[in-house]
Amino acid sequence: MKKITVILLLTFIMLVPVVAQAQLTKFGVIDTSRVYNAYFRNSTGSRNYEQKKADFQAEVDRMTEELKALQTQKLELEAAGDEDGAHSLETTINTRTAALTQYTKTKNIELENLKSNLASSDEFYNNLYSVIEKIAESNGLSLILSLQQANAVIWYSESVDITQQVIDALGSM
């Protein structure tokens, strides 16, 4: 019995350093939507997108004001008893409303494509993965999970979130 205890004790003593040297897997998480928003907010592409969006909105506002003015004219013609003039204006209003609807659909598709192209830029992804790799290696992380693409992430500690480090690193490139 004494021999078995000594053997177990020696085995345990020999295994302790091996277990102590075993590398624990450390992981990090990243909120890629926050990175996209921070990175693209200051990029040329983003500024172009925002300018096109503002131009589009200004044109929609202008067209809407024209429609309101035509509606007012139509009501005035109806009040004055000019049914032919009111009917003519109603046709114009319907045509311009359809044009505004089509313009809005077309411009929304255009803006959505621009936004999508911003987020799928090869240059951006190359920079993103390079920065993530550097940060992960410098922090001794073996695995980085995306909060948007990992439905299995139920909870994580803020200490493993490298999002801000990635944003800062991308901003200095």
Q: What are 23-63's pLDDT values in tens digits?
A: 566 788 888 778 877 776 667 777 788 888 899 999 999 99
Phi-psi region of 136 (alpha: psi -120 to 50; beta: other; left: phi over 0): alpha
Segment 70-82 shows an average pLDDT of 92
Segment 86-114 shows an average pLDDT of 92
Paired tokens of 3: 């021999």
- Pairwise CA distance, residues 104 & 57, whole Å: 9
Burial of 145 (0-12, 13-18, 19+ CB in 10 A): middle
> Tens digits of per-residue pLDDT, 111-163?
888 877 776 666 777 788 888 888 888 888 877 887 776 555 545 567 778 88
- How many distinct structural domains can be found in the chain? 1
Give the pLDDT band (50/70/90) at residue 92: very high
Residue 149 covered by a domain: yes
The pLDDT assigned to 116 comes to 77
Paired tokens of 157: 């500690």
What is the DSSP track for 113-145? HHHHHHHT-HHHHHHHHHHHHHHHHHTT-SEEE
Residue 35 covered by a domain: yes
Q: Which residue segment(s) compose the domain that 69 sits in?
A: 20-171
Q: Which residue has the tokens 């506002």?
A: 61
Residue 115 covered by a domain: yes
Residue 55 covered by a domain: yes
Residue 15 covered by a domain: no
Residue 142 covered by a domain: yes
Residue 27 covered by a domain: yes
Contact 30, 132 (CB under 8 A): yes
Paired tokens of 162: 């490298």
